[in-house]
Amino acid sequence: MAMELKQSLKLQQQLVITPQLQQAIKLLQLSHMDLVDQIQAELVENPALEEVPGATHDETLAETLSRLDNDNARDQADVVDQNNGSESMETDWIGLDDAGQHTVQSTTQESVEKKDGKLTEDEWNRLLESYSQSGSTKGLGTVRGEDLPPIENTLTTSTSLIEHLAWQLQMQLCTDGERRASNVIIMNLDDRGYLTIPLEVVAEEADCDMDDVEGAQMIVQGLDPSGCGSLSLEECLIVQAKTKHPEDPFFEEIINNHLVDFERRNYLNVARAMDMDVEDAIEYHKMLQAFEPWPGRGYADADPRYITPDVYVFLIGGEWQIVQNEDGLPKLRISPYYQRVLQGAGTDDERKYIKDKLDAADFLIKSIYKRQSTIFKVVKSILEKQMDFFEHGVEHLRPMILRDIADEIGVHESTVSRVTSNKYLQCPQGIFELKYFFNAGIQQVHGEDVAAASVKARIKQIIAAEDARRPMSDSAIVTELRKFNIKCARRTVAKYREGLGILSSSKRKAMF
């Protein structure tokens, strides 16, 4: 068949994701802290975007709760006044107004009117007295005294495992080859304190023979913490046994051959193999439990992960209130200066540049307001569907999928997925990721299905209340769950137990 080049017309539909839409999707899935960073970056890059002078969203949680309490108390007072013939309004959900700002739908005539814009002398005195008592800042640590050194001079970091071992190595008497090999070993330790490369590789990198490498390994293993530089768990425990119990002749054989028996609490097998009493085998297990299987664990320098809730849910005056975290989130507006510049004279390129920046600023503001509105709708829907969880605890969590929320608020499932990703909710039950509320269902003996998370919580409670000397098997847990109207297979119980990090019954058994 001959190939030819020709033109043709074709009509088709195609979905094009514009840069603006990509930005809106990105903002929707950002957490609160990432959103603040993104807005600050946009403020630097876009001159047509600016903060509203004198306006801020900064409000501490205590101030928010105090405001809600005052609103609720004011509403109750208004109800009393209404019985006497005066008009009032009741507290309702915290929502978004037409401009996208959060408002509490509760007002009274007294809160709207201001008596006078000036302060009397007594009021000034009380204000100055409270100011001197509380200090010049709202929170602790926000302003450092002038007599204190700069914060850069007082910041410290924890000592890492490598630094701790290298400092001790400087005080050891050894040959040049052993010192080079010891440095190579120390630089190739993982977070547990184990050596990650073979001894032959250590010899090549340190340019020394195997005798120096073996001597270097013994030196590193003898440093604090004891056992670092080992290649296996058994080797690490043997080093610690020789350090803590140097005269004991049985530890090395027990560690090499019977760790599995100790794990299974099979003391009789250890006693028979080692020709000792069962009480002696139990005593060896007690001593082994005092060893550290990961000697480098105490020097792990992993940075802690701090979670900032994006939404707060509180029970105020018998009603559930939703407060979105707007700490550090500035109020934005389009620069009026650049709006006037656009109307003035200028070249086409200049006008196009300013117009693009103004459009980008306008779209960013609308996207942020849309994001806040969507998050509020999702959280409100979760609150309504999971009311039993918020009132009674995790045992009452109901099964729920993304489609349930999407259908109720009129958005796509992918939108709900983006809203619930990397965002956290704080409530009286604790801090939970929004994804936590979406669970598969487990069939009950009678009634509606129950969420998998509530089944896990129930399993954890059952195991916590068991007799440590006679731990419950997975089959016994299945029987116990039926008492709570939960129908669950043994394998499902085993999967949930392992997911919770709980050992099997044979390994949970307490012998002493």
Ordered DSSP codes for 82-96: HHTT--------EEE
Report the candidate in 188, 244, 185 with the shortest Cα–Cα distance to residue 220: 185
Give the span between the Cα atoms of 334 and 345, in whole angstroms: 20
For 379, the 3-state DSSP assignment is helix
Please name the residue ranges forming H helices in 290-401.
336-343, 348-385, 387-392
Q: How far apart are CA 86 and CA 363, in angstroms?
A: 44
Q: Which two tokens stand for residue 39?
A: 């807005």
Beta-carbon count within 10 A of 103 CB = 13
Give the CATH number for residue 450.
1.10.10.60
Per-residue model confidence (pLDDT) at position 193: 94
Is the pTM higher than 0.85? The answer reads: no
Distance, CA of 148 to CA of 317 (rounded, Å): 45
Within a domain: 258: yes
- 85 occurs within a structural domain: no
What is the amino acid identity at position 491? R
Query: Looking at the domain assignment, is residue 363 inside a domain?
Result: no
Residue 213 within a domain:
yes
Backbone angles phi, psi at 7, to 5 degrees: -100, 150
Q: What is the DSSP letter of 489?
A: -
> Are 450 and 413 a contacting pair, CB within 8 Å?
no
For the chain, helix (H) and strand (E) counts, in that order, are 23, 10
Q: Does 392 fall in a domain? A: no
Strand-pair partners of 398: none
Which two tokens mark 347?
């070249």
Cis peptide before 225 (omega within 30 of 0): yes
As a residue count, the chain comes to 512
What are the two backbone dihedrals, phi and then psi, of residue 89, each rounded to the nearest 5 degrees? -130, 150
> Digits of tens for pLDDT over the chain (512 positions)?
567 788 888 888 776 667 777 877 888 888 888 888 889 999 999 998 988 876 655 444 555 556 555 655 555 555 444 444 433 333 333 333 433 333 333 333 333 333 444 556 666 565 555 544 444 433 333 344 445 556 555 555 678 899 999 999 999 999 999 999 999 999 999 989 999 999 999 999 999 999 999 999 999 999 999 999 999 999 999 999 999 999 888 999 999 999 999 988 889 999 999 999 999 999 999 999 999 999 998 886 556 677 889 999 999 888 999 999 888 888 888 888 888 888 776 778 888 888 888 998 999 999 999 999 999 999 999 999 999 999 988 888 889 999 999 999 999 898 999 999 889 999 999 999 999 999 887 777 676 778 888 888 889 999 999 888 888 999 999 999 888 888 888 898 999 999 888 988 888 877 66
Tokens representing 314 are: 């509180």
Cα(488)–Cα(478) distance, integer angstroms: 6
Greatest pairwise CA separation for the chain in angstroms: 101
Query: Hey, how many other C-beta atoms are within 10 angstroms of the C-beta on 60?
Result: 11
Contacts of 278 (CB under 8 A, 6+ apart): 267, 268, 271
Domain end call among 268, 284, 299: 299
pLDDT of residue 329: 83
As a whole number of angstroms, the distance between CA 505 and CA 480 comes to 15
Domain that holds residue 241: 161-299
Taking phi over 0 as left and psi of -120 to 50 as alpha, with beta for the rest, 100 belongs to left
Residue 186, token pair as written in the block: 């120390």
The pLDDT value recorded for residue 53 is 77
Half-sphere exposure of 474 (CA within 13 A, CB side): 16
Determine the Cα–Cα distance for residues 258 and 243; give it in Å rounded to an integer: 20
The reply to whether 189 falls in a domain is: yes
| pLDDT of res. 153 | 56
Q: Which residue has the tokens 């006044």?
A: 81
Question: Which of 254, 270, 299 is the C-terminal boundary of a domain?
Answer: 299
Residues 493 and 508: their CA atoms lie apart, in Å, by: 16
Distance of alpha carbon 7 from the chain centroid: 57
Q: Within 13 Å and on the Cβ side, how many CA atoms surround 275? A: 1
Query: Which is nearest to 365 in space by CA: 13, 39, 2?
Result: 39
C-alpha count within 13 angstroms, C-beta hemisphere, residue 270 = 26
In this structure, what are the phi and psi dihedrals at residue 344, rounded to the nearest 5 degrees?
Answer: -85, -170
Distances (CA, A) of 256 to 96, 110, 214, 238: 66, 80, 20, 9
Question: Where a domain ends, among 299, 317, 344?
Answer: 299
What is the distance between the alpha carbons of residues 484 and 42, in angstroms, rounded to a whole number?
54
Number of domains in the chain: 2
Residue 417 falls inside a structural domain: no
- What is the C-alpha to C-alpha distance for residues 221 and 216, in angstroms, rounded to an integer? 9
240, part of any domain: yes
